[in-house]
Structure 1
Amino acid sequence: MARRRKRGLGCGGLILILLAVLAVAVPALFWWGPGPLPRETAVQVPEGSTLGEAARRLEAAGAIRSANWFRRFAGRLGSSDPIKAGEFAIPARSSAATILDLLQHGRPIQRLVTIPEGTPSVLVADRLKAEKLLAGPVAVPPEGSVLPDSYDFERGEQRAAVLKRMTAAMTRFLDDAWRARKKTTAVRSKREAVTLASIVEKETAVASERRMVAGVYSNRLRIGMPLQADPTVIYPITKGRPLGRRIFQSELRAKNGYNTYAEAGLPRGPIANPGRASIEAVLDPAPTKALYFVADGKGGHVFATTLAEHNANVRKWYAIRRQRGEM
């Protein structure tokens, strides 16, 4: 009698099963399993990068095990959405699938350099030079050419490129603001608008006062009365850096194109980079007959139409300063 053959998979069947398991396990392990990155790491994806180029950067950073495998599995198992440019924070042990989703739909790291309203151009250059994640030299921009704001940048970006965006932003804003100017403005050009706005910016930090201060200076310009703005005395001495002392009488008399005590009219150019609100105030000044203002001791100013009123306000201010021990 012939022996009955035992039913079973045999060696070949086991191999096929093993291969099938591996065919599922390997992609699952590589694509969805924990990645090799030991700690959160930032990876930069330059503008215009392909998926392959991004994958090579990820491999070099240790975020994935193989750029080639990442690209192949991304095409088979991932979304077809395009990747973004920018710097991305890759969490530790992120899977390849998670990393692809982050590049396609996540938010890049936002790095900002902030230029406050009224910052002189020499200090704009200082801020850019102090930002260690930027690269390359930067020149001091023309005074009044930068729009104060917060600007995003990428790690390693050229300082000059960031500055170019700042000046382009001022050009766009000023063009729009000039078209919307009111007939009551006392300035005759965009440069005059920035020049007067830079004085307004330096004279008051109170937002609600800007149009009023602009109104006072506009009135003075119309009648040929000197603006008598202290910041215009200081600017030619320090080019925008702090003076660190009181103004000398000789400096109040100096004729240098900026000193609005010694000469009537606007200075030869801006003394800082004014913000949007100060430019808009100059182009739409408050309707007022006031010609004078002085500090009120509370952070703002008190305004006057006549010199007698102004002198009384000045005496009150001096009394406050003496009470504080400042005089």
Structure 2
Amino acid sequence: MRLFRRLLSLLILAALLGGGGLAWLALSPVRLNASPLDFQVQPGSSARAAARQMVEAGIDLNPWAFEALARASRSAAALKAGSYEVEQGITLWALLQKLTRGDVSQSELAIIEGWNFRQLRDKLNAHPDLRHDGAGLSDRELLQRIGAAESHPEGLFFPDTYLFSKQSSDLDLLARAYRAMQKRLQAEWAARDPGLPLQHPYQALILASIVEKETGRAADRPHIAAVFVNRLRQGMLLQTDPTVIYGMGERFDGNLRRQDLLTDTPYNTYTRGGLPPTPIAMPGQAALQAALHPAASPALYFVARGDGSSHFSSSLDEHNRAVNKYQRGGR
């Protein structure tokens, strides 16, 4: 069957090329310096330029033959830029078809729920398959380059696994993640529960980021969101540790002390009312849904049980008993 396909390809090529010499050359394997071998075809490359780039990458081919084959098969204008991977045994014809189809090699980067933007930038800068166009930019410059209207980057990028052609720009990946977050945030905002104490989608994003950081068990998200929504409605302080930690930045050493809770920053929800000025992390879809569809609950407090779940209370007395039971070992 393989021999039949090879002969059929040869006949088609011979018909296209008007002779057998170039056809036989087209179906002969090219030599590679390594296998697999990665190479890049730059945007706007002609067949001759693409052949030169492949030779420089370690593919032992005749640039004239590749260009002649591309022109004779009417493929010269159809070559697609991108990053490609080939293995030993590939023929000149198969190589041309690969570039014509745009059969690029891909890599991936996972953006994790709860990451902050500094963590995301670190991952982008360390990824070997990305082109680091944003590495030297400030956060504000980076947002301008991807077309974001916001002035602070935190929370603006949707957590997901993103596939990309190798040597794509990190700015392109960030732009995709930004658009993904805008799409999901606007959809959830349009379908939000009535009567929420939120004035615009950005406030929902802030609340969702807090829910993301406070959640130990997925099923608790709507209940945690309900606590914060109820507190906002009643004008109570949110008093959530993750916002304090975010406001401390690199000063946080892993231990949150009483003095930290008393030290005022724009993100200290023990000293300032309402939501903090920006998100504190990147919330996932479930956190967005919880923030805009909180549980129907009167709870105003919660405390970690120690197994990843939380105990919810609607009064301070009940909350204090839960704290004594789950965090102080009381009975």
Q: TM-score, normalised by structure 1?
A: 0.80
1:27 paired residue number: 22
> Which residues of structure 2 form unaligned runs of 5+?
1-17, 140-151
Residues 1:169 and 2:168 aligned together: no
1:251 paired residue number: 260
Say how many residue pairs are matched: 297
Question: How far off its partner does 1:24 sit?
Answer: 6.2
Q: Could you say if the C-alpha distance between residues 246 and 61 of structure 1 is closer, same or farther in structure 2, counting changes exceeding 3 Å?
A: closer
Question: How far off its partner does 1:242 sit?
Answer: 8.2
Which residue identity is paired with 2:41?
Answer: V
Which residue identity is paired with 1:108?
Answer: V
Which of 242, 245, 248 is the matching residue for 1:231?
A: 242
Alpha-carbon contact 1:297-1:317 (below 8 Å) kept: yes
Question: How far off its partner does 1:42 sit?
Answer: 0.8
> Which residues of structure 1 form unaligned runs of 5+?
1-22, 323-327
1:200 paired residue number: 211
Alpha-carbon contact 1:113-1:151 (below 8 Å) kept: yes
Which of 132, 137, 140 is the matching residue for 1:135?
A: 132
1:190-214 Cα shifts (integer Å, max 9, x gaps): 1211111111111014222211111
Alpha-carbon contact 1:125-1:138 (below 8 Å) kept: no
Question: How far off its partner does 1:84 sit?
Answer: 3.5
Cα distance in 2, alignment partners of residues 259 and 98 from structure 1: 61
What SS class does the counterpart of residue 270 from structure 1 fall into? coil
1:71-92 Cα shifts (integer Å, max 9, x gaps): 2224445879944432111112
Alpha-carbon contact 2:262-2:270 (below 8 Å) kept: yes
Question: How far off its partner does 1:118 sit?
Answer: 1.5
Q: TM-score, normalised by structure 2?
A: 0.80
Question: How far off its partner does 1:56 sit?
Answer: 2.9
2:94 paired residue number: 98
Cα distance in 1, alignment partners of residues 187 and 278 from structure 2: 21
Q: Could you say if the C-alpha distance between residues 221 and 91 of structure 1 is closer, same or farther in structure 2, counting changes exceeding 3 Å?
A: same
Q: Which moved more, 1:32-41 or 1:70-79?
A: 70-79
Cα distance in 2, alignment partners of residues 52 and 207 from structure 1: 55
1:152 paired residue number: 163
Question: How far off its partner does 1:32 sit?
Answer: 0.7
Residues 1:290 and 2:286 aligned together: no
Question: How far off its partner does 1:69 sit?
Answer: 1.3
Which residue identity is paired with 1:259?
Answer: N
Alpha-carbon contact 2:313-2:319 (below 8 Å) kept: yes
Which residue identity is paired with 2:32?
Answer: L
Which of 165, 171, 192 is the matching residue for 1:181?
A: 192
Q: Could you say if the C-alpha distance between residues 71 and 126 of structure 1 is closer, same or farther in structure 2, counting changes exceeding 3 Å?
A: same
Cα distance in 2, alignment partners of residues 82 and 135 from structure 1: 28
* Alignment root-mean-square deviation, CA: 2.7
Cα distance in 1, alignment partners of residues 260 and 275 from structure 2: 17
Q: Could you say if the C-alpha distance between residues 148 and 74 of structure 1 is closer, same or farther in structure 2, counting changes exceeding 3 Å?
A: same
Cα distance in 2, alignment partners of residues 205 and 117 from structure 1: 12
Q: Could you say if the C-alpha distance between residues 83 and 206 of structure 1 is closer, same or farther in structure 2, counting changes exceeding 3 Å?
A: farther
Cα distance in 2, alignment partners of residues 155 and 139 from structure 1: 24
